[in-house]
A and B are shown apart, each in its own frame.
Chain A
C-alpha cells in the first residue's frame, strides 16, 4: 500500500508538470512572446501551488477522500485545459483572464496533492525517509515529464491529446486509491461514480479531439475571429484586430485591410490603364469585391462578369456592413453579373456553346496554387481557354504568388502563359502583410505600360509602376516546367518553396 502511494507521487508529479508546460506552450502559441508567457505562467502556477499547499491545513478529516476528489478534479480541469483554452480563445472577451484562471485553479489543486499525500503517508514512514522519498520522486517525475513533453508528446499526440491523456492519468490514480482502500474512504461509491464519469469524458475528448479542434479557430488565426463559416467549398474566416480586418480562406490569408489597397491597385491598374478603352471585364475569383472596387474607377467599363465558385463569399461581401465598407459596395454595382460556378467549367462551356465572347480585361484573383484543385486554374489548358476569349487589345492579369519566396512558382506562371501563346510582362509589388508579391500580365501583343493612372490611387503612379517591372537578381526569371493538368509542376514548386519559408 505504501509503495502504491509512492507510485502515485510519481504519476501526479509528472501530470502536474505537464499541465504547466501545456499552459505555457499554449499561451506562447496563442499570444506570442514566449519568454513572457512562459515566465508568467510558471510564476502564476507555482504561486497557485503555494496557495494550495497553504490551504491543505484546512483539510482535517477524511484525507484520503479529499485526495481522491482532488485527483479527479485535476484530471477534469487539467485534462481538458488545452481543448478548453483553444476552443474558447476566439469566443471570449478576455482570454488572459481565462488562461490565468485555469492555470491558478490547476496550480491550487496540484499544490494540495503533495501535502495531503505526506500526511496520508505520515504514519507509515519515518519523517526523514518520507520527505526524501516523496520529494525525490516528485522531482524525478518532473524530469520525466519535461523530457517526454517536447520529444514524444507534442510530436506524436499534440497538445490537446496530451492534455486529455494526462488528465486520465490523474483519474486513474484516484481509481487505484479507491479500489485499494475502499474500506477507509467514506462515500466510496460516490467517488467511484464521479471518477468513472470524468474518465469517460476525458476519453471522449481524446477520441474526438480532432473534431473539437476543428471548432477551434484559435488554432490558426491571430486576432479575434469575428465571422467564420464553412461552405461546401471552403472555410471562410474573418478576423479583426485593432481595426485590421483580415480574410482567411482555408486558413490562408487573402487580405489585410491595412494594406490590401497596395495589392489590389497593383493587380488592377497596370492592366486597365494600359487598355485603350476597357469595356467588358471578366474577374475570376475576387469574390471579396476589392479588385472590382478598383475596376469600377474606370467609367468606360460597361460590364463586369465575376466568376466565383462560392456563393457564400459573394453574399457575405455584398451584405455584411463591415465588408461592404471595405469594398465600397462594389458587389452591388449594376454593371456586375455574378456567376457562382467553377471558372474552368464555366469558361469551357461558354467557349464551346456561345463562342464565349471577347473580354477586354481578365483579372485572375484566385488563391495561391497550393493544391491540385486550385492548380487547374494555373494550367496551360486553362490559359489556352482564356486566350480564346481575348482579342488583340485584351489584357489578362494573374496574381502569381511571391517571386521572392517562391521564385520558381512565380516564373512557372509566366512560362505557362507563354506556352499558351501569350506574351507576358511580370511585375511585383510590396504588400506588407504578404511580402513581396507578384503578378503577370498576358497579352496578344507586347504590353506597353500606361502613361497615366486614375487619380486618387494610394500606391500606384507612373514611377512606382516603372519600378514594379524590374526584378532584382534574387527574383529574376528562371526556367521551369509548364503547369499541365496531367503534371502539375507548379504545385510541387509551390509546396517546396513555401514549406522552406513558413511552418504551417
Chain B
C-alpha cells in the first residue's frame, strides 16, 4: 500500500470510515438530545384552494369572461400550449393556475443566498425526437446554433458544471453514483453487462425505424416484443436477465425512485430501461450524458415561458368545472384574488392538469376520464439554506450528492452553476420520493406531518452525512407534493388507459406530463404543443406542426 502524505499524518482510511469515534457522530448525538428548530416555511400545492374542487355547490358566477382559448393549468404543459397558440397568432387566450406562481412541479423559490428549485431541476441534452422542445430551446437561447456536423451548440453557462455527481458510502464520497468501492468482480461484470446492454438499446431501432426507447415516449418503436416489457416490473426483468448484484440493483432502484418516485419492484421494466436507454442527446460542446440546469432548476424555463403571456396568465384562479357546449367550452372559475366566481366562455380549451384533477373538472365524463388508472407518487422536498459549504472526505461537493444509506435521494446544490470559485453559503434542495409505502398511505403520512417534524427529518438526514454542518443551517423550507409524479407501474405506459386519455373531447384537449406515463419536461411540453395544435386544427387555423 502506498501511503500518501495526507494519510500518513491523519490516518483516515479505517479510523474515519468506522465513524465510531468521529467528531461528527459525537456531535450529532449531542444535538439529538436537544433538537433545534429552524426558521422556515411550508410550501405546497394550495390544498385549501384545491379542496374547493371537491365541493359540489358552486357559488353563482358573478361575471362572465370571454377568450378564444382557455388553458387550465400553468405548469410546463399549460405554458407550452399557450406558447404554441401565441406563435400561431392566437393571442386571445387565458391561462389559469390555482397557485400564486405558475410552473407547477417546475416552480422555484429564491432567498438572499440563491434561487433554488422546488421540483424539476434539469433537462438532459435533447434527444432527436424531442423536436418541439428543441425549437423552444433555440428560441430561449439554450441552444445557440449548430456546428459543422449539424450538432446543436448549447449555451455553456447552462450546461451542468463539473463535478456533477457523488455518492456517500462507507463514510466517504466517491465520484459518480454507481457504487464503485467494495465491488466484487461479479458486481463489476454485471455493471459492464448492464451498461453495455443499455448503450446498445440507446441506438437500436425497431422494425418501424423508431428508436426502442424514445423521449417523448410516444415516439418509441411500436414493436410488441419490446412493449411487452411494460408488463413486467423492473425488478422482475433484472431477475430474469440475471442481474443479481445488490449494488447494481441498488443503483437501478435509485434511478426508478429518482425519475418516477417509484421503487423498481413497482416500476414497469419498460420505464426502468427507458431511464437508461432513451437519453442519447448529442451536442457540439457537451457529452451525451450532460444536462442543462440553472440555480432555480426548471423555474428558469417557467419564467421565460410565462413572461410573454403577460396578463393572459391568471394565477390564484381555480378552475372548478368544465363543460363542453355547442361550438365551445365553458369553464367555471374561482378567482381567489377577488374572491369571485367567474364563468369563461371560450371557443376551445386545454386541460393542462393532472388526470385526477381533469376528471373532477368533468364530473359528467368520469368514466371516460378513468382517473383510477392513473397513480401518482408523493414527494417531499426541502430547501435548506446554509451559511457554510458541505464538504466531506473524498470526492468534492458536486451538483447532485446522494447517500447510499439514506431513504432520501440526497441533495442538489443550487450554487453549482455559480461562476465564482467559492460560494460561502448555499441552498441545498433535498429530494425524498415517498416510495416506501403505498402512495395513498405515504400521502396521508406526509400531509399529516408538521413543518417542525419535516425539518427534523431533513436536518437529521443531512447532519448524518455532514456533521460539520451542525450550527450552519439557517433555515429549512419544506414542500410536500401530494401527487408529484405519474407512476409508470407495469402495464400503464402501453396500456389502454393512457392511450385513451390523450384523445380530446371535441374542442377540449388534454395536456399533461402524465399522458406520457413518465414525468419529464419533454413530455409535459410536447403534450402541451400537441394539445395546442389540436385546438388550432379545431379552430381552422393554419400552422406548421412543431411536433
Chain A residues in contact with chain B, CB under 8 A?
29, 86, 154-162, 206-211, 213, 219, 232-233, 309, 342, 344-345, 348, 371-377, 380-381, 484-488, 491, 503-504
Contacts and interface: CB of A to CB of B under 8 A. Distances in A.
Contacts of B310: none
Interface stretch (B60-68, B216-224, B282-290, B539-547): B282-290
B419 A207 contact: no
Nearest to A152: B14
Nearest to B155: A381
B162 A486 contact: yes
A261 B414 CA distance: 42
B7 interface: yes
A486 B420 contact: no
B154 to A, nearest CB: 9
A304 to B, nearest CB: 22
A233 B422 CA distance: 7
Given A160-B9, A219-B9, A309 B421 contact: yes
Nearest to A492: B162
B23 A372 contact: no
A371 B421 CA distance: 10
Contacts of A380: 156
Given A206-B21, A484-B285, A161 B422 contact: no
A161 B23 CA distance: 13
A486 B161 CA distance: 4
B9 A372 contact: no
A208 to B, nearest CB: 6
A486 B288 CA distance: 12
B481 to A, nearest CB: 29
Contact of B157 (A155, A207, A232, A485): A485
Nearest to A211: B23
A485 B8 CA distance: 33
Contact of B23 (A160, A207, A371): A207
Closest 9 CB pairs of A and B: A158-B11, A342-B420, A486-B159, A156-B14, A344-B419, A157-B11, A373-B421, A488-B162, A345-B420
Given A309-B422, A344-B420, A376-B421, A485 B11 contact: no
B4 A504 contact: yes
Contacts of A345: 418-420
29 contacts: A86-B9, A155-B11, A156-B14, A157-B14, A157-B15, A158-B9, A158-B11, A159-B8, A160-B10, A208-B23, A209-B11, A210-B23, A309-B422, A342-B419, A342-B421, A342-B422, A345-B418, A345-B419, A372-B162, A372-B163, A374-B421, A377-B421, A484-B286, A485-B161, A486-B156, A488-B163, A503-B2, A503-B5, A504-B5
Interface string B146-169: 000000000011011111000000
Contact of B10 (A206, A210, A375, A381): A210
Interface in B1-31: 1-15, 21-23, 26
A377 to B, nearest CB: 7
A207 B26 contact: yes
Given A207-B21, A486-B156, A487-B286, A159 B396 contact: no
Contact of B9 (A213, A344, A371, A374): A213
Contacts of B161: 372, 376, 485-486
B487 to A, nearest CB: 32
Contacts, number: 111
A422 to B, nearest CB: 17
Contacts of A491: 162
Interface residues of B, number: 37
A344 B156 CA distance: 14
Interface string B409-427: 0000000001111101000
Interface in B148-207: 156-157, 159-163
Contacts of A161: 11, 15
B124 to A, nearest CB: 12
A483 B163 CA distance: 13
Nearest to B424: A232
A202 to B, nearest CB: 12
B450 to A, nearest CB: 35
Nearest to A485: B161
Contacts of B23: 207-208, 210-211
A487 B420 CA distance: 17
A35 B361 CA distance: 86
Given A161-B15, A207-B23, A372-B396, A348 B419 contact: yes
Contacts of A158: 7-12, 15
A485 B424 CA distance: 20
Given A156-B12, A503-B5, 4 more contacts: A156-B14, A158-B10, A159-B9, A373-B421
A290 to B, nearest CB: 21
A232 B11 contact: no
Nearest to A372: B163
A468 B9 CA distance: 39
